[in-house]
Amino acid sequence: MVNKIKVFLNSGDHSQGRGVGFYADNLYKALSKQKSISLTQKNPDIIHYPFFDLFYPTLPRKKIAKTIVTIHDVTPLVLSSRYPKGLKGTLNLFRQWLSLQSVSAVITDSENSKQDIEKYLRVPSEKIFVTHLAIDPIYKKDISKETFEVVRKKYNLPKKFVLTVAGGPNPNKNLPTLAEVTDRLDVPLVIVGKGMLQEIKEPVHPELIDMVRLKVYKHLILPGFVSNEDLSAIYRLASLYVQPSLYEGFGLPLLEAMTAGSLVISSNASSLPEIYHDEAITFNPRKLQSMEKAIKKALSLSPKARKKQIDLGKQKASSFSWTKTARQTINVYKKVQKNAQS
């Protein structure tokens, strides 16, 4: 009988719900169903931190066991001009970098993030392992006609609209460009995300400048936080889902939209090509005309061509699962354990 690897998934109290908390919760559930490991806080062989903040001490300097950390992305380093660090941020980044030097392995969400972690944090490639994410199974479930009508009325959604999901107006989301294009095309734009309703105070923080830029547009619908159940319906009600990002470590909303059966188009930047299918309609997020051309093309597809795009999206989305993520994660645990014993 093979001894189980004892793992402590130390998620702390960071970002419960969507984002990091969503990853930690779903990874824990998926890992708990695997027979080769034992999830425990007592005398673990491995401690896995599923969160790494570049500018906050989330990773201890002193390691009491073999340590693995998940770094979802390094967006503020890639788009450094839009995410000013300041002196305090620079010092905290250095402290986190020092703590990173003694980890046994780094897990990340995409091949693109792996390259950036290697480049910006100088982590050796052989210590970085890619485990793609997955989505909540609720996006696969069928929805009744009555539910669609309830959701449409609840959020005051028009018959035709473009949708994007962004937790907030972060610079990497590229929301002003999407707002400009949809305004030109005279199509309402729904931006889902709790952070889109935050109050902006003077002086405006550099990371919130895009929120100010969005205020000039009158065609935006900002429903704020939306439950997964309602969002699944909104994905299907949308004429088109657009992922306009300049940079994403993975891009869960794009995968959610594909799974739900929304027609999607996407930026061709960063990790997003790892998610969408080979025949997807894509655009350069830094060129307004490229995005406009892609949206026009998608909205003018014939019913047959539209259905093909949706079916291809669902097919590609089905290749992602939390079981697969868990198994890939366990492979990293085994490698670290083997190296420790050799």
Portion of the chain with pLDDT greater than 70, in percent: 97
**Residues 318 and 335 sit within 8 Å (Cβ to Cβ):** no
Q: How many other CB atoms are found less than 10 A from the CB of residue 194?
A: 14
pLDDT of residue 19: 57
Mean pLDDT for the chain overall: 94
How far apart CA 194 and CA 178 sit, in angstroms, is: 18
Question: Closest Cα partner for 162 from 230, 242, 282, 217?
Answer: 242
Check: pTM over 0.85? Answer yes or no: yes
Can you read off the two tokens belonging to residue 160? 């035709």
* 14 has a pLDDT exceeding 80: no
Residue 17: pLDDT band (50, 70, 90) is very low
Domains of the chain: 5-130 (3.40.50.2000), 137-317 (3.40.50.2000)
pLDDT greater than 80 at residue 216? yes
Tell me the two tokens of residue 46. Answer: 């491995």
pLDDT, tens digit, 9 for 90 and up, residues 84-126: 888 999 999 999 999 999 999 999 999 999 999 999 999 999 9
Query: Measured between alpha carbons, how far is 172 from 79 in angstroms, rounded to an integer?
Result: 7
Rounded (to 5) percent helix, strand, coil in the chain: 45, 15, 40
The predicted-structure confidence for 133-173, as pLDDT tens digits, reads as follows 999 999 999 999 999 999 999 999 999 999 999 989 999 99
Asked whether the predicted pLDDT for residue 62 surpasses 50, the reply is yes
The answer to whether residue 2 scores a pLDDT higher than 80 is no
Cα distance between residue 260 and residue 237, in whole Å: 10
Q: Which residues contact 75 (CB under 8 A, 6 or more apart)?
A: 83, 170, 172, 247, 248, 249
| Helix pair angle (228-237, 145-154), 10° resolution | 100
Taking residues 312-318, report their average pLDDT: 98
Residue 107, helix vs strand vs coil = strand
**Tokens 């006609």 appear where?**
145
Res 21: pLDDT: 80
Q: What is the DSSP letter of 197?
A: G
Q: Can you read off the two tokens belonging to residue 116?
A: 């950036």
